[in-house]
Amino acid sequence: MITEQESPHTCTFEYTRTDHAQLTASIIAYIIETSIKEDPTMSIWSVANCVRVSFGSITPDYNKLWRGREIAVARQFGSWEESYNFMKLLLIGIVDKNLGSRYQFLTSPSIDKNTGLVKQGVQEFRAVAWPYGPCITAFDYLRPVISIDAAFLSGRYEGRLLMACSYDAENQLLSLAFAIVHKENEENRGFFLHWLRINVIGVNRFVCVISDQHKGIKAAFKLEYRWDRDNFVHRHCIQHVADNLVQVCGKDPWYGTRFK
């Protein structure tokens, strides 16, 4: 029987509620949809602030905010899985609309972690490399100098974006080629450098390569079948050398004198 309690409420347990069961990740995604469209890299702190603006003092936990942002990104730009599945179609479109463009897409059979068996009909992404046709053509008129570097990719699957750039007579940069790999190591660096030599620079063509001192790059250049040793020189980027020096020496002006 449901009745009315006439006596005053005597529960003395006090607490501050910062979450609400009905504020789901899907609702959070709806709240931040416009903001995510303008800034896909929106931080979790910014997502929490949007929720506070809409619902006052309620602030969901970190995992719910993260899931809400993922849902919002997927609604606007597609999921991470859909993006990787779409990648090959995108590259085909680039080749079709930019004459002279080319690409190489590497996959490997997917292995079930529980059974150790190969999943039939399922391939895992390994690496992809591509240049734009006009950039390949333009390299004939640029200085025989290229710079190579890598950038971290954010997102669920992370990875690295490898890049190669060259310079014209006025020291203006031109992007030559790109590659996406799962991590920066000797194998992936070797794949990109070998692919760059064959498809962009050309065999038996002298070029100076500038890079940082990453071990994967050094190891890749030692593999004779990946790079023509007689037609290139490898030099280190002075900016990276300076940054490494600052990390070791700090701002001590006398460090070099004491340790000569």
Backbone angles phi, psi at 20, to 5 degrees: -145, 135
Q: Do the beta carbons of residue 93 and residue 60 sit within 8 Å?
A: no
Continuous segment of H or E residues that includes residue 123:
strand 118-131
Backbone angles phi, psi at 160, to 5 degrees: -130, 140
Q: Name which of 136, 137, 127 is nearest 162 in CA terms.
A: 127
Interval 229-244: pLDDT, tens: 678 888 888 777 777 7
Q: Do the beta carbons of residue 62 and residue 44 sit within 8 Å?
A: yes
Query: What is the model's pLDDT at position 223?
Result: 66
Interval 151-181: pLDDT, tens: 888 767 778 999 999 988 888 889 999 999 9
pLDDT for residue 252 is more than 70: no
Angle at 217 between CA 200 and CA 151, to 5 degrees: 80
pLDDT for residue 12 is more than 70: no
Interval 47-76: pLDDT, tens: 988 888 888 777 788 888 888 888 988 888
Query: What is the model's pLDDT at position 205?
Result: 86
74-87 mean pLDDT: 80
Confidence of residue 259 (pLDDT cuts 50, 70, 90): very low
What predicted TM-score, i.e. pTM, was given to this entire model? 0.69
SS (H, E, C) 190-234: HHHHHHHHHHHHCCCCCEEEEECCCHHHHHHHHCCCCCCHHHEEE
Q: Which two tokens stand for residue 12?
A: 């003395």
The Cβ of residue 109 has, within 10 Å, a number of other Cβ atoms equal to: 12
Q: Residue 148: which residues within 8 A CB-CB, separation 6 or more?
A: 162, 163, 164, 165, 192, 193, 196, 209, 210, 211, 217
Interval 103-145: pLDDT, tens: 998 888 888 777 878 888 777 888 999 999 999 999 999 999 9
